Structure 1
Amino acid sequence: MELLEWHREQQEAKLSGRYITLQDIEPLLKQYEDNGEVSVIGRSVNKDTIYMYRTGQGPKKVLMWSQMHGNESTTTKAVMDLLKFLKEENAVARRILEQCTLYIIPMLNPDGARAYTRVNAVNIDLNRDAADISQPESFALRRVFDEIAPDFCFNLHDQRTIFNTGDSPKPATLSFLSPATNKERSITPPRKKSMEVIAAVNTVLQRHIPGQVGRYDDSFNINCVGDSFQTLGVPTLLFEAGHYPEDYNRDMTRQYVFRALLAALQYVADHPVSGEGYEAYFDIPENGKQFFDILIREFPITIAGEVVLKDIGILYKEELRDCKIVFTPYIEEIGDLQGFYGHKTYSASEKTLPSIEEKNLETSTLLKLFL
């Protein structure tokens, strides 16, 4: 069975939507104890459990962690799908588990997951705490890293809907990064190895989402965990789950993250990963930031008594309400937005509309005219 077909039919049905908490994944982890080992590696600020799942018997050690940012849950869903897949009797799963030992932290920031915030319970961004290691969640991850001495690290995140690939009108449904190890962004041996794996993953993904894979900015920041681990000599891959058209719950993106995880693990299992294949990494276009969730073209706006036509870019703010994520639109930018794209685009010139004074522009009023 083709791997995406397996995912469509067999993905973990108990997880859906954007709001994924520790209470959602705890019972699922217990289902896989007969295929691996569930351990407690630490406690969050609010004393919630931070779990790690170990499976496989191979010599190549892969450490991965998800939901370091509590409001980035797509990769957590894909990780739980991966655990279900690895329990299946199939050749791909057997090969990975024969060649690799996987150490998986499915939710590093359970407090942030419950509050649906990027930060932890004391407003610290764990992905800016790699140098200080000031938080219990950061300490748990670093202690595991030191004890395991992994051969590869997978740092799993979500990215905003604003990203496109290169200058194209295609969204960056997945983005990747081989983090820098210094301000000069030198192409070091561990970077080459992670670049080689990412290039292999991109080859697979281009068959499914052509033109929708981007390369994330590689500015160096030693406070970022990926930069820190790669600086310590461990090839580290940053995964960023992004937008797929009409998929704000990221259920389509979820399946491509799952496919990317398998592609990375298959490549690590089947190849020595010397870094020789790193140059194909640069064939992946860099991410642009040229998307709005909604783009309204040539809207008549009254400014100082004069009617002018301007573009209006609208983004969604994700808000937690009654254990559900609500997407609330707000005006991000007004002006000449040529070169930008909308996940939905409307042309005001196709309607007969009264002009509105700029100070009176309200998102709800605008959207009622088009939706």
Structure 2
Amino acid sequence: MKQIMLAIVCSFSMIGMSQSTDLTSQLYDTYENYKETSIGKRRIKRADIQPLIDKYASNEKYKVATVGKSIGGKDLSLISIGSGRTNVFLWSQMHGDEPTATQAIFDILNFFNSSDFKVEKEAILANLTVHVLPMLNPDGAELFQRRNLLGIDINRDALRLQSPESKTLKRVRDSLDADFGFNLHDQSTYYNAERTEKPATISYLAPAYNYEKDINETRGNAMKIIVFMNDILQKYAPGQVGRYNDDFEPRAFGDNIQKWGTSTILIESGGYPEDIEKQEIRKLNYTSILSAIYTIAKKSYETISIAEYEKIPENDRKLFDLKIIGANYKLMGNNYTIDLGINQVEVDYPEHNTFWYSSRILDQGDLSTYYGYEILDASAYTIKQARAYPKTLNTLAEVGALNFKDLLQQGYGFVRMTTIPGNVINSPFPIHLIGAKYKIPEFKLEPGLNPTFFLEKDGKVEYAVINGFLVDLKTESIKVPNGMIYK
């Protein structure tokens, strides 16, 4: 009899999972119908989402309330939809430079506002009330920085509640007595799934609520939801899911909200190949979060085994943007074999709407346990110093008229100018600009330096590395977003 009952339970569980899987595929395939196209870049600000909030404030399906203000006086808005007794609370951009899930939230709100998926939406909205606080740190978003104007990390302010943003988050959580919470963040693109070359495109954590890392029903339910979401992502980003270390952090909001009785799911959006603005990761957030909301509404998560949670690989941080393997490097008359790990570091323009690159060598030596989004086996190549073009030019137009591929093939990585315009922050060309009196330093590779050099084979330059970007000179393509300026 027990075996029969177990078979019945498993059968219902499989039916529930199958229904959710079908919905997931439909959500992924129809995503472009709901994507909020007005916020397609990472550097979004409070003013960018205000028209969207106003749109929902005038829509009778939604309830919109100002629940607090930031230190800088910007509104903190809560948008709610549904009539169910189970409260699901999503908050995003606690860190101002982590906007991927904020974009996905507005995609989800567009989904609820559509006439599609009627049966599924009725199941969600009849059983749940979904609340979203899309931008908790608007002052940080304005400057595209992690911390708020007080200079603190809001996610370490759950005990003292020093900042108004922290007080608002605590007050909203308490007033809702939320059953489920989605704590939405971005993580570094340099995280990988442990012992693999694959980026941790999405990482999860069911935060611990005490030092012993006990698992009660509240935390267990969060683990079940994470297992469910991981299964979804394996279809679209196989092997690209990580799991954070669950050491208890008594100051953190996620740990405390778990302790306060809300099943809390931390979601961190990491890296995805050739997805600089994280739009594919945004789509994965939309698909997996909506699917999770549906399984909460249907309660199909209840039969999921939490044992699967520990099988998700832990987060590691062993990815570079560019990894060069085994290059020959001459130093002080001796030959050495060296690996290079290079990251293409973003630097914001003053208005914090877009960025340029000032790349760095992060590490060098034996990097055999590290990985790269782009990898070059340079064991047949010798590293050569970049030289300055012999002619001094007067204007940017003159520089722009040069044949850059020819220059790179000749080993020129610098162009000297009589005067570099003062309002030009970086070189708009795939080559560095240097001032009339600038002396190129003696060539030496070390962490912290800008990676600019050539790779030569049999006396011929075949690759250039300019500002950390690899150029294959055997092809026509030169993809270097910008060079540097040295005066």
TM-score normalised over the length of structure 2: 0.73
Indicate if the aligned counterparts of 1:199 and 1:281 stay in contact, CA closer than 8 A: yes
Following superposition, the deviation at residue 262 of structure 1 comes to 0.7
Indicate if the aligned counterparts of 2:347 and 2:356 stay in contact, CA closer than 8 A: yes
Structure 2 residue 251 is matched with structure 1 residue 151: no
Q: Deviations over 1:125-164 (max 9, x none)?
A: 0011111110010001001111110001100000111111
**Corresponding position of 1:4:** 28
Moved more, 329-338 or 111-120: 329-338
Q: Deviations over 1:253-278 (max 9, x none)?
A: 11001011112101110117558632
**Corresponding position of 1:358:** 445
Indicate if the aligned counterparts of 1:181 and 1:188 stay in contact, CA closer than 8 A: no
**Are residues 304 and 182 of structure 1, via their aligned partners in 2, closer, same or farther at CA, if it must alter by over 3 Å?**
farther
**Corresponding position of 1:53:** 79
Indicate if the aligned counterparts of 1:22 and 1:107 stay in contact, CA closer than 8 A: yes
Indicate if the aligned counterparts of 1:300 and 1:354 stay in contact, CA closer than 8 A: no
Distance 2:80 2:144 in 1: 27
Structure 2 residue 295 is matched with structure 1 residue 267: yes
Following superposition, the deviation at residue 175 of structure 1 comes to 0.9
Counterpart residue identity of residue 338, structure 2: K
Structure 2 residue 437 is matched with structure 1 residue 337: no
**Are residues 201 and 43 of structure 1, via their aligned partners in 2, closer, same or farther at CA, if it must alter by over 3 Å?**
same
**Corresponding position of 2:470:** 370
**Corresponding position of 2:242:** 214
Distance 1:243 1:62 in 2: 27
**Corresponding position of 2:38:** 14
Distance 1:193 1:122 in 2: 35
Q: Which runs of 5+ in 2 are unaligned?
A: 1-24, 386-442, 455-464, 472-487
The sequence identity of aligned pairs, in percent, is 35
Indicate if the aligned counterparts of 2:329 and 2:383 stay in contact, CA closer than 8 A: no
Following superposition, the deviation at residue 165 of structure 1 comes to 1.3
Distance 1:13 1:159 in 2: 23
Distance 1:244 1:297 in 2: 22
**Corresponding position of 1:39:** 65
Distance 1:272 1:285 in 2: 24
TM-score normalised over the length of structure 1: 0.95
Distance 2:296 2:63 in 1: 22
Distance 2:51 2:380 in 1: 53
Following superposition, the deviation at residue 335 of structure 1 comes to 1.5
Counterpart residue identity of residue 381, structure 2: K
Structure 2 residue 177 is matched with structure 1 residue 77: no
**Are residues 327 and 154 of structure 1, via their aligned partners in 2, closer, same or farther at CA, if it must alter by over 3 Å?**
farther
Distance 1:325 1:262 in 2: 31
**Are residues 359 and 234 of structure 1, via their aligned partners in 2, closer, same or farther at CA, if it must alter by over 3 Å?**
closer
Query: Number of residues paired by the alignment?
Result: 371
**Are residues 163 and 359 of structure 1, via their aligned partners in 2, closer, same or farther at CA, if it must alter by over 3 Å?**
closer
Following superposition, the deviation at residue 348 of structure 1 comes to 2.5
Following superposition, the deviation at residue 319 of structure 1 comes to 2.4
> Which structure has the higher relative contact order (CA within 8 Å, separation 6+)?
1
C-alpha RMSD of the superposition: 1.9
Counterpart residue identity of residue 83, structure 2: Q
Following superposition, the deviation at residue 52 of structure 1 comes to 0.7
Distance 2:333 2:95 in 1: 46
**Are residues 316 and 128 of structure 1, via their aligned partners in 2, closer, same or farther at CA, if it must alter by over 3 Å?**
farther
**Corresponding position of 2:209:** 181
Distance 2:140 2:230 in 1: 30
Alignment of 1:1-371 (within 5 A): 2-33=26-57, 34=59, 35-89=61-115, 90=117, 91-271=119-299, 274=302, 277-303=305-331, 305-321=333-349, 322=351, 323-354=353-384, 356-358=443-445, 362-365=450-453, 367-368=465-466, 370-371=470-471
Distance 1:347 1:207 in 2: 30
Distance 2:276 2:369 in 1: 23
Following superposition, the deviation at residue 282 of structure 1 comes to 1.7
**Are residues 136 and 54 of structure 1, via their aligned partners in 2, closer, same or farther at CA, if it must alter by over 3 Å?**
same
Distance 1:19 1:359 in 2: 32
Following superposition, the deviation at residue 101 of structure 1 comes to 0.3
Q: Deviations over 1:252-307 (max 9, x none)?
A: 11100101111210111011755863222122111121211111112333445433
Indicate if the aligned counterparts of 1:165 and 1:213 stay in contact, CA closer than 8 A: yes
Moved more, 345-354 or 177-186: 345-354
| The structure with more radius of gyration | 2
Counterpart residue identity of residue 26, structure 2: E
Moved over 6 A (4+): none
Indicate if the aligned counterparts of 2:361 and 2:446 stay in contact, CA closer than 8 A: no
Q: Which runs of 5+ in 1 are unaligned?
A: none
Indicate if the aligned counterparts of 2:191 and 2:319 stay in contact, CA closer than 8 A: yes
Give the match's secondary structure for 1:4.
Answer: helix
Indicate if the aligned counterparts of 1:193 and 1:275 stay in contact, CA closer than 8 A: no
Distance 2:446 2:56 in 1: 56
Give the match's secondary structure for 1:93.
Answer: helix
**Are residues 359 and 226 of structure 1, via their aligned partners in 2, closer, same or farther at CA, if it must alter by over 3 Å?**
closer
Distance 1:121 1:275 in 2: 44
